[in-house]
Amino acid sequence: MIKQLILVGLGGGIGSIMRFLVSKIPFAQSSFPWATFAVNIAGCFLIGLLIGLSVRHQILDADMRLLLVTGFCGGFTTFSTFSAENVYLYQSGNYFLLALYILISIIAGFSTVLLGLALSK
């Protein structure tokens, strides 16, 4: 278990650093949140690629999957995990749960950010 925690922590730390560095790229300094958008889309592509390589081609072992998928992608963006979970629900035919998860996640996330801001005043 310690090895797994270290792998996830190491990958997450690197992913978080990469997310921070992307936010410092000049294109990211505008009124549209380009950095977050770019990180989310890149993270979604990367998690799909890594899961595909892991599942379909057995290229990644369990440790590398923890380091790269759970750790790096999780630290880089949790949106990638959210999107991968939605793809799984879609592929499983759980369309109601898919719609519910997306809707509740967006509404609850937005609302709780507003709540946190309101409580901090």
All residue ranges of the chain with pLDDT < 50 are none
pTM over 0.85: no
User: How many Å apart are CA 57 and CA 53, to the nearest integer?
Assistant: 5
State residue 38's pLDDT score. Answer: 86
Distance CA 27, CA 35 (A): 8
* Biggest distance spanned by C-alpha atoms of the chain: 52
> Would you state the torsion angle of the CA atoms of residues 102, 48, 69, 94, taken in this order, to the nearest 10 degrees?
40
Q: Which residues lie below 8 Å from residue 57, measured CB to CB, with a gap of 6+?
A: none
The whole-number pLDDT of residue 100 equals: 94
- The residue length of the chain stands at 121
Please give the pLDDT value at position 28.
63
Averaged confidence pLDDT in the chain: 89
Supply the pLDDT for residue 29: 67
